[in-house]
Structure formats: C-alpha cells, structure tokens
C-alpha cells in the first residue's frame, strides 16, 4: 500500500511544478504528517524531492527528474481505452488523434497487456444519445473543440430566439448531455451579467467570474480573436489566448448549473393521487429529482386502504404535465388545477369511446 502511494506521489510531483502538503494529502488521502514522512522516505531512496518552506512553499522534484515507474496494470490499461465516447470524439474532429494515441499506448504496453483494447471494447460500449432521437452533430463543434483545447478566445454568434447575438467568449469546456453538446465558457469581465438558461447562457448571481452555458447547435459563427498591439493594429496572424482559472472544475460546474436549470423550468404545480405502481413509475415520467422530493414530502397514504398517496408535484407547464402524466395511465388521478383535471377527464371519455363496446 505504501509503495503504491509513494509511486503516486512521485507521479503527481512529476506532472506539476509544485504541490503543497495539503494538496498532496488530499490527492493521496492521507494526513500532512504522512506526506512529510513519505517525502523523507523518497529522498532517502534517491528521489530528489525538495521542500520549499514558507506560505508559498511546497514539494517539488529537482533537476527535471523523471521516473520510469509508469507501467500500467491490466485494469488501468483497460480503463484507458474506455476514456472516450467514440461518437463524441468523431463529432469533435478528434477521432484520428485519439486513434493514433491508442495505437501508441498499445505499442508501449507490456506483451501481457496487448489485448487490453480488445477486452475493454468487447465488454463496454458508451452510446450517449437517448433512444429514438437522432441529434445531428453541430457543424461548428470541431471549431469550438479546437478553441477549448487551445485556450483560444473566440468571437461567437449564436441564435437567441428570433435574433442573433455576438459575444466574445473564453471556451472552458464541452459537455455532451443526452446527445446535445453544450459549451461552458467564461465571458470577459467587460461584459455585463446576463441571466439565461443552458440554451442561452447561464450566470451565477454575484459571481466574480462570469461563466455561461451555450448550446453549440445554436452557434452560427465562431472566429478566433486576433491579437492586437497597443494601437489596435493586427499583430500578424496571432491568436489571442486566455489564462485558464486553475480553480475551475468543469464536472462540478456542470452539475451545479444543470441542477439550477432543472429547478428553474419547474414553474407550475399539479396535485395528483398516485397508486403504489404510479409512485414507482413517477420518477420515470417526470423530472426524477422533483418526483423524489414530492414523494418524500407526501403526508402518507390517503387512508382509504388502497395505498394511494396525494402529492404536490412541480412541473414545467400544464401542457407538459399532461403529456408526462398520461404515461402513467390509470395509476394517476389529477386533482388540481381544475383545468388539467378537465383535460384528463375529456381524454378519458375519448379513450372509453375508442375501447368501449362497439
């Protein structure tokens, strides 16, 4: 266990200029005292680990030291070949690059691990889009992906309703959600805050750094920002790049914004009675988080002995609720609003006419 931890510590220090004891302790899941002991052990073993003292100090490797302890175990090698979604790589224009990288890694593996790509591919295949939904790849996705890889500031035009808006963006990351591509981007500080949805740009109130989310298929143009000198003249064909915030965490950012968006569109409420089967099916018919919350807050069975429960459910709109709740069939009864109950009653009459005795 300790040997594996020491190797991981060396690899961490090899991949970064310097790391504090707290950072190493967090990565290695040990105490800072253990980090100090491990650094001492590495130094005694001939690994040139150096500790800088002071507020800005930390641990680093001296003299460009590189370890050769980079062999992959079978599980690590197989996991490596699951690290991308083939369709997503193809849509971003990275299929050839990823294929070349896999070939190079395969060639570097030990003979006993050469079958890792095949064994992984035959056991796991990642297919991101939803069923019965073919979403064409956005034409500008490769250009956006290039900007993300290169930390390249861009000028983008995108559709917002019936109009087009132009913004200067610093592309931080791409997210593929249910077959739809989203760009997470920082807006330069001169831009004012602007509220929106993941389709139009989303901003956290009071945020010092303004980050927004855009649907890539709504972009109509993406051009790199050219570097200019102090008098405003173009400086050759130079591309302007931005300095990435090292604290930005793309998965955490996306999780937070996705949750905010899901809550923001649930602006209406309906009151329904659910059978036991309806309670089990509800999270599959409506927003799962909203369904779980509504069921958790229910007062319990209605008392008629049949196990039905009354819940208040947040929904996007009455029309959306009608479509979603129809999927539950006779396992749900709409109580309010009255207009929605009337629509279900009319629908029930039509069904009775269709399926009743002829």
Report percent pLDDT > 70 for the chain: 72
CB 260 within 8 A of CB 252: no
Could you tell me the pLDDT band of residue 228, with boundaries at 50, 70 and 90?
A: low
Which of 131-145, 203-217, 306-320 is predicted with the least confidence, judged by mean pLDDT?
Answer: 203-217
SS (H, E, C) 198-264: CCECCCCCCCCCCEEEEEHHHEEEEEECEEECCCCCEEEEEECECCCCCCCCHHHHHHHHHHHHHHH
Bridging pattern class, strands 58-61 and 49-52:
antiparallel
Please determine, for residue 176, whether its predicted confidence score (pLDDT) is greater than 70. Answer: yes
* Helix, strand, coil tally for the chain in percent (to 5): 40, 25, 35
DSSP per-residue letters across 132-145: T---PPPTTHHHHH
**pLDDT tens digits for 13-44?**
887 778 898 889 988 888 989 999 999 888 88
Is 93 within 8 Å of 142 (Cβ atoms)?
yes
Residue range 155-172: mean pLDDT, rounded: 91
- 271 closest CA partner among 348, 337, 342: 337
- Residue 229 has a pLDDT of 54
pTM of structure = 0.58
Whether 91 shows a pLDDT value over 60: the answer reads yes
Query: Distance between CA atoms of 273 and 232, rounded to whole angstroms?
Result: 66
Percent with pLDDT over 90 in the chain: 31
CB atoms within 10 A of CB 117: 19
pLDDT at 18: 84
Torsion of CA 339, 345, 349, 354, to 10 degrees: 90
Q: What is the pLDDT of residue 308?
A: 92
Q: Do residues 185 and 171 lie in contact, with contact meaning Cβ atoms separated by under 8 Å?
A: yes
Q: What is the pLDDT of residue 277?
A: 94
User: Each residue of 286-302: pLDDT tens digit?
Assistant: 988 889 989 988 877 66
Question: Residue for token digits 């309906």?
Answer: 270
> How confident is the prediction for the chain on average, in pLDDT?
80
Alpha-carbon distance of 24 to 21, in angstroms, equals 5
pLDDT at residue 350 is higher than 80: yes
* The token pair that represents 208 in the structure block: 């010092």
With a CB cutoff of 8 Å and minimum separation 6, the contacts of 267 are 314, 316, 317
Q: Strands 234-239 and 226-228: what pairing? A: antiparallel
The CA angle 352-355-356, to the nearest 5 degrees, is 70
Question: SS3 of 95, please?
Answer: helix
Query: What is the torsional sign of CA 331, 337, 343, 348?
Result: positive
Give the Cα separation of 250 and 256 in Å (integer).
10
Between 348 and 202, residue with greater pLDDT: 348
Query: In this predicted structure, what is the pLDDT of residue 230?
Result: 47
Q: Are 97 and 105 contacting, i.e. CB atoms less than 8 angstroms apart?
A: no
For the cut 80, the answer to whether the pLDDT of residue 202 exceeds it is no
CA–CA separation, 59 and 40 (whole Å): 11
Q: What is the pLDDT of residue 197?
A: 40
- How many Å separate Cα 180 from the centre of its chain? 12
Does the pLDDT of residue 136 top 60, yes or no?
yes
Closest CA to 94 of 4, 176, 184, 157: 176
**How much is the pLDDT for 196?**
39
């Amino acid at each position: 266990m300790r040997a594996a931890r020491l190797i991981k510590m060396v690899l961490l220090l090899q991949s970064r200029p310097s790391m504090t004891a707290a950072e190493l302790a967090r990565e290695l899941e040990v105490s800072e005292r253990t980090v100090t002991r491990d650094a001492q052990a590495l130094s005694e073993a001939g690994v040139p680990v150096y500790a800088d003292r002071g507020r800005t100090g930390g641990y680093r490797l001296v003299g460009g030291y590189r370890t050769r302890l980079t062999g992959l175990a079978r599980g690590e090698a197989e996991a490596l070949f699951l690290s991308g979604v083939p369709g997503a790589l193809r849509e971003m224009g990275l299929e050839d690059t990823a294929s070349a990288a896999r070939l190079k890694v395969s060639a570097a593996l030990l003979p006993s691990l050469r079958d890792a790509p095949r064994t992984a591919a035959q056991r796991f295949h990642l297919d991101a889009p939803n069923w019965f939904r073919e979403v064409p790849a956005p034409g500008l996705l490769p250009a956006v992906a290039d900007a993300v890889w290169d930390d390249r500031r861009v000028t983008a035009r995108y559709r917002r309703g019936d109009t087009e808006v132009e913004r200067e963006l610093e592309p931080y990351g791409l997210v593929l959600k249910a077959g739809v591509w989203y760009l997470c981007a920082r807006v330069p500080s001169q831009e004012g805050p602007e509220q929106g949805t993941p389709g139009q740009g989303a901003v956290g109130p009071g945020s010092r750094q303004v980050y927004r989310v855009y649907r890539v298929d709504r972009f109509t143009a993406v051009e790199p920002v050219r570097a200019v000198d102090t008098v405003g003249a173009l400086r050759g064909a130079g591309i302007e790049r931005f300095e990435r915030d090292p604290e930005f965490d793309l998965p955490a950012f996306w999780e937070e914004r996705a949750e905010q968006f899901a809550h923001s569109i649930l602006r209406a409420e309906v009151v329904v009675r659910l059978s036991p089967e309806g309670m089990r099916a509800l999270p599959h018919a409506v927003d799962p988080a909203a369904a779980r919350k509504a069921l958790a807050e229910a007062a319990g069975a209605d008392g008629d002995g049949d196990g039905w429960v009354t819940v208040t459910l947040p929904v996007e709109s009455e029309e959306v609720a009608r479509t979603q709740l129809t999927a539950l069939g006779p396992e749900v009864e709409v109580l309010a609003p009255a207009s929605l109950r009337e629509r279900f009653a009319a629908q029930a009459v039509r069904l009775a006419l269709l399926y009743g005795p002829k």
